[in-house]
Amino acid sequence: MSLIDSLLAYLRGDEKKTAAVAKERLQIILAHERAGRGADAPDYLPALQEELLQVIAKYIHIDRDMIKVQLEKHGDYEVLELNVTLPERPRA
């Protein structure tokens, strides 16, 4: 990036500070690592994931690894996150 480019980026205010990047990266990786930890992950999660998979498979053809169930804590409340990656539709 040339000096003028970085000056423009600075004036536009769209250059992200590295501390903010660090925080964001940590929040994502730690949410992931905590979910995999015994104490935090409730034991019904695998069963829930399995049943959801069966329901979705009735309607759409998906693979086992294309569905992710995750429980995250945000302060006082918990968020149950369900992530289904749909297969790419072959182009006609």
Applying CB under 8 A, among 12, 17, 61, 91 the residue interacting with other proteins is: 17
Binding status of residue 29 toward other proteins by CB under 8 A: yes
Q: Are 81 and 41 in contact (CB under 8 A)?
A: no
Cα dihedral sign for 34, 37, 41, 47? positive
> C-beta of 9: minimal distance to other proteins in Å?
14
Q: What values do phi and psi take at 77, rounded to 5?
A: -115, 160
**One symbol per residue from 50 to 89: x for binding other proteins (CB under 8 A), - otherwise; what is it?**
----------------------------------------
Q: Six-digit token pair at 64?
A: 């086992």
Applying CB under 8 A, among 5, 38, 43, 54 the residue interacting with other proteins is: 38
Stretch that binds other proteins, among 2-10, 36-44, 53-61, 63-71 (CB under 8 A): 36-44
> C-beta of 23: minimal distance to other proteins in Å?
5
CA atoms within 13 A of residue 26's CA, in its CB half-sphere: 6
Applying CB under 8 A, among 30, 47, 57, 84 the residue interacting with other proteins is: 30
Q: How far is residue 48's CA from residue 65's CA, in Å, rounded to a whole number?
A: 14
Q: How far is residue 81's CA from residue 52's CA, in Å, rounded to a whole number?
A: 12
